Amino acid sequence: MRLQRGKVFWKGNVRIRVTGREPERFFNLCGHHNITLWDVTEHQAALR
């Protein structure tokens, strides 16, 4: 963790699985809140 101009930044990785009827809503909300996602893949009808 480091502090830069009053903001706290964490480093690390998180693995998630997105399921449901509208998984694109999750990605739209991440974009709206400036949350960067990368290495998104589809696996057995679920996005990881």
5 vs 42 pLDDT, higher one: 42
Q: For 3-19, how does the pLDDT look when each residue is reduced to its tens digit (9 = 90+)? A: 566 677 777 888 888 88
What residues make up the domain containing 30?
2-47
Residue 22: DSSP 8-state: -
pLDDT digits (tens, 9 = 90+) for 26-41: 999 999 999 888 888 8
Nearest 5 degrees, angle CA 24-CA 47-CA 16?
100
Please state the domain count of the chain. 1
Checking phi first, is residue 30 left (phi over 0); if not, alpha (psi -120 to 50) or beta? alpha
